[in-house]
Structure 1
């Protein structure tokens, strides 16, 4: 009985707080505003913006078939969660000269949820 209680208590302490957990389903709703320019999924194609499949770990300005600004191609960024967080809050501040016209997403929870959603496409095909 003591082992069971200790196990339950230990798992409860290790579980992330629900207020801080990333929520991919909520992130899908956040992505609705991104869909005007970006696509994700197995049949995604470049549009006004590049495909966002496999975003994390990719170098900025590297999706084949998308015409990036020199600022984006030469930014030297590799997309990880921290870089994406900074970028999505104010794209033009993070990459001056980018053609991304977006005022920014400032709400940390919504950014976290969006990141969780984008991670569901980490292994989806990216144009080469």
Structure 2
């Protein structure tokens, strides 16, 4: 009897995941739905520009952000300690067990897939959206 209950519970769980008939409401989480605006306030925009930054839309949600460029952007590196930001390479371009080189990140808002180099090696890659 216990086996029957297990099978029945599994079937119910799968049924809950099955597509439903008829039109479904579009569920698209947005920053506005979460109570955030995609645009910076005038005061934040002014503070950004006063600090030497530029307002740019970044990330998957396209929110305005204050971006500061690094002076050593694009410089060849093999370790983050050689950069104002991180020493990065394209994910897959470097190996965790072989020495490699990268470039100092361009600015303080790093998005996309990349591997951070430490001692010439990239133990892992990450994707930031």
Q: Which category describes the TM-score, using the shorter chain as reference length? A: under 0.3
Question: What TM-score comes out, normalization by structure 2 length?
Answer: 0.25
- Structure with greater helix percent: 1
Larger Rg computed on CA atoms: 2
Of structures 1 and 2, the one scoring higher in RCO (CA 8 A, sep 6+) is 1
Question: What TM-score comes out, normalization by structure 1 length?
Answer: 0.25
